[in-house]
Amino acid sequence: MFPPRSILGRHHPIPPVSSERKEPKSKYTADRGIPGAFEGETVTRRRLMTGTVHGLGALAAGAFALPALGFALGPVFKRQKFQWQSIGNVADFNQTDYTPRVITIVSGIGEAGKSTTYVRLRNPSIDTEPEDQYNRVIAISTRCNHLGCPVRFTEAAGKFICPCHGGVYDFRGVREGGPPVRPLDRFYTRIENGQVQVGPRYSVNSNLKRFSPRDPGEPVDGIGQYLYPSRFSTPQK
């Protein structure tokens, strides 16, 4: 037996359960008693004006945002065709030192589209990665893979040095110290009729395995190759 409610505490009456179903709210404004409503009207003037203002606001925002978004994302999905460039005879280069050559990275923008690459012949005693038709001549990019500053090959030290933040690369362009996240990028090369030609850029990991081009600051070792996929705008061979 349970004790009476007076012993348990203050009595709280339990409301009776109604068997009547609540009438659904009418969609007509006149039925809902809204002032100024018209017969057969389903949308109030306030809701109509509010919706119109919100729609016009969204249209105005889109007019500003969509062109900017298209300008920013358009080049990402545009593939660029890289033209092979002749940089000299095979006899102009050797296995023990780099020779700088100026190449065009982006055409149609004058000097701003040019860059320097350091070139030498492949040396089997130090170039242990597999040889093929595209790396019989080694062409090293001068863009540091920390923030993109230009590096310089120092012949006395046999290293590539970045003057901006102290990045150091060995003779093959492999990172030795400083903040860079991967070795210096390289360019595909080929020999046609005794002429050395430079093609598109590619990135390499610490074992000099090839990857599609990445931007400075993007590692390609381990999980980095998946976290930083290449862009569609990178030049194709």
The tens digit of pLDDT for each residue in 134-152 reads 999 999 999 999 999 999 9
| 186 shares its domain with 86 | yes
**Taking all residues of the chain, what is their mean pLDDT, rounded to a whole number?**
81
To the nearest whole percent, how much of the chain has pLDDT over 70?
Answer: 70
For every residue of the chain, which 3-state class applies, written as one string?
CCCCHHHHCCCCCCCCCCCCCCCCCCCCCCCCCCCCCCCCCCCCHHHHHHHHHHHHHHHHHHHHHHHHHHHHHHHHHCCCECCCEEEEEHHHCCCCCCEEEEEECCCCCHHHHEEEEEEEECCCCCCCCCCCCCCCEEEEECECCCCCCECEEECCCCEEECCCCCCEECCCCCEEECCCCCCCCEEEEEEECCEEEEEEEEEECCCCCEECCCCCCCCCCCCHHHHCCCCCCCCEC
Q: What is the pTM of this model?
A: 0.65
| 84 shares its domain with 70 | no
| 221 shares its domain with 148 | yes
| 164 shares its domain with 73 | no
| 102 shares its domain with 208 | yes
| 113 shares its domain with 187 | yes
| 93 shares its domain with 202 | yes
| 60 shares its domain with 158 | no
Q: Looking at the domain assignment, is residue 15 inside a domain?
A: no
Domain boundary among 57, 77, 97: 77
The predicted pLDDT at position 81 comes to 61
More confident residue, 214 or 2: 214
What tens digit of pLDDT does each residue of 82-134 get?
689 999 999 999 999 999 999 988 888 888 888 999 999 999 999 988 889 99
59-68, 104-113, 139-148, 181-190: which range is least confident on average?
59-68
Mean pLDDT across 25-54:
64
48-52, 73-77, 126-130, 138-142: which range is least confident on average?
73-77
Q: Looking at the domain assignment, is residue 159 inside a domain?
A: yes
More confident residue, 220 or 232: 220
Q: Looking at the domain assignment, is residue 222 inside a domain?
A: yes
Q: Looking at the domain assignment, is residue 221 inside a domain?
A: yes
pLDDT confidence bin for 45, thresholds 50/70/90: low
| 143 shares its domain with 94 | yes
| 101 shares its domain with 147 | yes
| 156 shares its domain with 182 | yes
Q: Looking at the domain assignment, is residue 235 inside a domain?
A: no
Q: Looking at the domain assignment, is residue 12 inside a domain?
A: no
Q: Looking at the domain assignment, is residue 176 inside a domain?
A: yes
What tens digit of pLDDT does each residue of 166-178 get?
999 999 999 999 9
The number of domains in the chain is 2
Q: Looking at the domain assignment, is residue 11 inside a domain?
A: no
Domain ranges, residue 170: 80-227
The predicted pLDDT at position 230 comes to 77
Mean pLDDT across 25-38:
61
| 172 shares its domain with 209 | yes
The CATH number of the domain holding residue 223 is 2.102.10.10
The predicted pLDDT at position 190 comes to 94
